[in-house]
Amino acid sequence: MSRTFTVTARDGAARAGILRTAHGAVRTPVFMPVGTKATVKSVDPDELRALGAQLVLGNTYHLHLRPGEELIAELGGLHAFMGWDGPILTDSGGFQVFSLRATLLAADDDGVTFRSVYDGRRERFTPELTARIQALLGSDVAMCLDICPPAGVSRAELGEAVRRTTLWAQRQRDLPRAPGQLRFAITQGGLDEELRRRSSEELVPLDFDGYGIGGLSVGEERGPMFEATTRAASFLPEDKPRYFMGIGDPEGIVEVIARGVDMFDCVLPTRTARTGSALTWEGRLNLRNARFARDPGPLDPGCGCPACGRFSRAYLRHLVNQQEILGLRLLSLHNLRFLIDLVDSARQAIERGELLRWKEDALSRLASTGLETT
Ligand SMILES: [Zn+2]
């Protein structure tokens, strides 16, 4: 039994639970806003709290290169540095290193060499270094360095990623941590059932505090990805949290919760805001569309965010068209609130034992208009 994580309700494969961290408890399922460079773009930590955000992501790759973990540690760690006293999860940087393929120089059993996206300098990540960076940042959850291949690679390459990810997880298992820091391993294997099973069977006996499901949502078709998620979740222990890395569209969130995933993150709410779009129960609204020019209504009538409480679609459209900073901020606040509310609603449905009905209703509402896809 894990005292770190308690499942409080089940409905089919889905679960509701509580993850206990050094900076407070997190109710799951939980959507985690991404604060890549120690900031959720344009959103103040007090605003994050007011939106109902429970746990924020930081990015090891970017914070290591700018401004550096030593500087952040000198200033009291990542919580103090960014003014957020709630739980923080840091990724390991592996996803950035392996997804920025043009900057990848070489990978071997010891680590991976790449060029910095900031200045082109040669850099190297090893399991030991990324664990040390995360210990200095002082995050509540540290992720193991893994190998995340893109979709469509050969089975041999997927198998090699699984082998090396296990090798690295073994080396990271007992490295020094920040006080109370939890450490999650990440299973790989892409869509391949046998490799995913092997990855899980190698990592689960190491008894990490939780498990990431990696190597999905990397460019493959959605149907097979969700089927692989069902299997990947089923290979993981019931009493440990499961984190699907990199999904954040409303439909995707609903699907992975139903498959037994507890945690997920995505830059989608703030990235979507930067394109002038809002996530709503009518689908995704592109505010550049002329049909909003005289629309006096809120983005989403059921939403309690600062944008919906005071401003019309017409005004938000004006801000977006004039590239005003307030437009970006208000859309970011709204999009984050929308996903946080969506996940709250899913959790309540799990607690009532009505997730399937809730899911069907949610997916049909989200698809009901579908006027815009951008
Ligand atoms: Zn809103």
What's the whole-model pTM score? 0.97
Q: Which residue has the tokens 């930081």?
A: 58
Tokens of 29: 């399922």
Q: Which residue has the tokens 């939780």?
A: 210
Secondary structure (3-state) at 57: strand
Distance CA 67, CA 138 (A): 15
Indicate which residue of 11, 91, 192, 209 is catalytic. Answer: 91
Tokens of 359: 């899911």
Instruction: For residue 46, indicate whether it is catalytic.
Output: no
Residues 333, 336, 341, 344: is their CA dihedral positive or negative? negative
Cα 218 to middle of ligand 1, angstroms? 29
Instruction: For residue 295, indicate whether it is catalytic.
Output: no
**Gyration radius (Cα) of the chain, Å:** 20
Distance CA 79, CA 73 (A): 10
Per-residue pLDDT of the chain (374 residues; tens, 9 = 90+): 458 999 999 999 999 999 999 999 999 999 999 999 999 999 999 999 999 999 999 999 999 999 999 999 999 999 999 999 999 999 999 899 988 888 999 999 999 999 999 999 999 999 999 999 999 999 999 999 999 998 899 999 999 999 999 999 999 999 999 999 999 999 999 999 999 999 999 999 999 999 999 999 999 999 999 999 999 999 999 999 999 998 989 999 999 999 999 999 989 999 999 999 999 998 899 999 999 999 999 999 999 999 999 999 999 999 999 999 999 999 999 999 999 999 999 999 999 999 999 999 999 999 865 454 44
Tokens of 81: 């540095």
Backbone angles phi, psi at 272, to 5 degrees: -60, -40
Locate all alpha helices (DSSP H) within the chain, ordered by sequence.
Answer: 45-51, 60-65, 69-74, 78-82, 94-99, 127-137, 155-172, 193-203, 222-234, 250-258, 268-274, 306-310, 313-321, 325-352, 355-366
Cα 344 to middle of ligand 1, angstroms? 15
